[in-house]
Copies of this chain bind each other. A is one copy, B any other.
Amino acid sequence: MEQSFLAYLRGRCRSLPQVTVGIGDDAAVMEPPAANLIACTDQIIDGVDFVSAEHSYADAGYKAMAINLSDIAAMGAVPTSALVTLALPKQNATRIAGEVYEGILQAAAEFQVAIAGGDLSTYDGPLAVNITLLGNVPAGNPWLRSGAQENDAVLVTGFVGGSIRGRHLRPTPRVEFANRLREQVDVHAAIDISDGLSLDLDRLCASSGVGVELNITAIPIHDDAIILAEQTGRTPFEHAWSDGEDFELILTMSQSDADKVLAMDHECELTQIGTILGRTGLWKRQETKLVRLSPQGYIH
């Protein structure tokens, strides 16, 4: 199927200036970024990250792009091009590939990403979609997990928890928000929430050698977490604290920069949930004492 499908795909893929030679040669040829080259890779597997009996293959394709776009956003970077690898069940391989690409191309169009190349195989196994996304940081430095500083404000985009109700398939990667933010303030550290707010925040803190005092009542709980809590018997807060696949950003910056951006309008909610401490760990203040909180989330 590969040759004919690739011919179809070449017709479907928009040409964008960042890719000089795309699908069809031994490798893709691309314009190099001016400064840093950013790259990430993430896969979506049927039965692990989505369920083909319940979800569409287009959703799987969209999700595979979106989770990588979210990683690029967490670096404060602009995505440019993608390499797409599909491992396809032998049965209906061409139809499934076509449907997966509907979702991939939709996300690619929304975020001006060129499909630079890829690979296709059929095998005895479930659909697996692996995408490598390339990007760059137009000016300044990429946002690392390790840059948080004592007294930084800790902010989170959007609302968290309960994404398993369906939001995890079509998240909104915060690419545009991140790129506007980079022009407005000096972000010290960032991570996207893939495994749970508290777990990913803990990772950011560990990378930076710091901790955080959280204002837990400020955590922006998603309606999905409230609805899900009615079914699970857990609290909405517990879902917001530990559910994964929100694909929102956790950001740290000076309190004055935070005050500046919190006073502005953005395309998504932006909430301060805490302040970076010199001591490690996640903490909340109970009366005059700091009480340690334990991070929870999806451990791979």
Contact = CB atoms under 8 A, between A and B. Distances in A.
Contacts of A145: 24-26
A145 to B, nearest CB: 5
A299 interface: yes
Contact of A27 (B20, B39, B83): B39
A124 interface: yes
A72 to B, nearest CB: 6
A3 B119 contact: no
B123 A48 contact: yes
B30 A32 contact: no
Contacts of A39: 27-28, 30, 81, 83, 116-117, 132, 134
Given A41-B83, A126-B123, A128-B87, A36 B20 contact: yes
A107 interface: no
Contacts of A34: 32
A94 to B, nearest CB: 12
A192 B85 CA distance: 19
Contact of A41 (B21, B24, B72, B118): B118
Nearest to A128: B87
B41 A32 contact: no
Given A41-B119, A123-B47, A128-B128, A144 B1 contact: no
A20 B32 CA distance: 16
Interface of A: 1-3, 20-21, 24-43, 45, 47-49, 71-72, 74-75, 77, 81, 83-85, 87, 116-126, 128, 130, 132-136, 142, 144-146, 190-192, 207, 299-300
